[in-house]
């Protein structure tokens, strides 16, 4: 039997797994994007945007060549989208992190009810 603390931690982990690691928004009712080389899950649009700058997973940095798109409701396979390798790997990490920061900023803004 789990203690209250363990149950709370488990529930928190489950809630976090339903959030996109890029934008920190809920993935409920959104198509899911999964890199073909790992099993990390993201909002499809977040991962597609990310892949235009880098074709590596934002979590584990595994290089991927396609995004597996799963249904927003059933999570069943919908299609596979090829990802082009960026013509020049961006040495300017600032651009990549700006995309990530913008998503985090929007998520925090929503969490605080628009008060910043």
Any idea where the domains of the chain sit in the sequence?
17-86
CB atoms within 10 A of CB 55: 20
Please state the φ and ψ torsions of residue 48, each to the nearest 5 degrees. Answer: -65, -45
The stretch 55-73 carries a mean pLDDT of 95
Does 13 score more than 90 pLDDT?
Answer: no
- pLDDT given for residue 60 in this prediction: 96
**Edge-to-edge strands, sheet with 42-43:** 42-43, 32-35, 66-70, 77-82
Given CATH 3.30.360.10, say whether it is the number of domain 17-86. Answer: no
Cβ-contact 66, 44 below 8 angstroms: no
Question: Quick check: helix, strand or coil at residue 63?
Answer: strand
- pLDDT given for residue 26 in this prediction: 93
């Amino acid at each position: 039997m789990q203690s209250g603390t363990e149950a709370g931690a488990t529930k928190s982990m489950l809630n976090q797994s339903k959030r996109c690691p890029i934008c920190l928004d809920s993935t409920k009712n959104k198509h899911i994007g999964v890199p073909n080389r790992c099993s990390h899950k993201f909002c499809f649009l977040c991962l597609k945007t990310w892949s235009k700058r880098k074709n590596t997973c934002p979590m584990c940095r595994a290089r991927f060549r396609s995004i597996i798109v799963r249904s927003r409701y059933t999570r069943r396979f919908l299609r596979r989208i090829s990802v082009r390798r960026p013509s020049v790997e961006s040495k300017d990490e600032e651009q990549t992190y700006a995309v990530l920061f913008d998503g985090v900023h929007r998520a925090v803004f929503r969490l605080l009810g628009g008060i910043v």
